[in-house]
Amino acid sequence: MKRLSGFLFIIALLLGGYYLWYHQNYSTQEYYTKITTNGERINVAIKNGKETYPHYRYHLNAYNQKNEKKEVEFNSVDSVPLKKNAYLVLHINKKKGVIGWEEVKASKVPSIIINTLNHEASQQ
């Protein structure tokens, strides 16, 4: 019985450690932003170093469900800029920053955040 208890304790410890590691490295919070610029065109080198392909880098303010502001930087993977005035939901990890994003309809963005983003855009 002692061996079984010890074994179960070790398994629980390993699972707990894995959960903490996974949570720190892969959990995200959702933030919302609005594309208000054309972005900065950058050329990213492919591994061989001879070829490059274009990306667009964006520096924008984003807001979470509590309307808390966060300055973010992320790249698009397209060779053309993102649509102006498009709303995005950003998936942000505390350690890694923006690890993903997707365009959403305005109806999916909380109204308080839409008001904040529109007010910000009118100030520019």
* CATH tag, 27-123: 2.40.50.480
pLDDT digits (tens, 9 = 90+) for 101-117: 999 999 999 999 999 99
**pLDDT at res. 48:** 74
**Dihedral of the alpha carbons of 54, 60, 63, 64, in degrees to the nearest 10:** 30
pLDDT digits (tens, 9 = 90+) for 5-31: 888 888 888 898 888 888 888 888 999
More confident of the two residues 49 and 41: 41
pLDDT digits (tens, 9 = 90+) for 73-99: 999 888 889 999 999 999 999 888 999
Residues facing residue 61 across a β-bridge: 71
Stretch 44-68: mean pLDDT, rounded?
Answer: 87
- The answer to which of 36-45, 46-55, 62-71, 108-117 has the lowest mean pLDDT is 46-55
Contact 71, 80 (CB under 8 A): no
Stretch 42-70: mean pLDDT, rounded?
Answer: 88
Find tokens 């698009």 and name the residue. 76
DSSP string covering 74-122, please? EEESSSSPPPTT-EEEEEEETTTEEEEEEEE-GGGS-HHHHHHHHHHHH
pLDDT band at residue 68 using 50, 70 and 90 as cut-offs: very high
Domain range list for the chain: 27-123
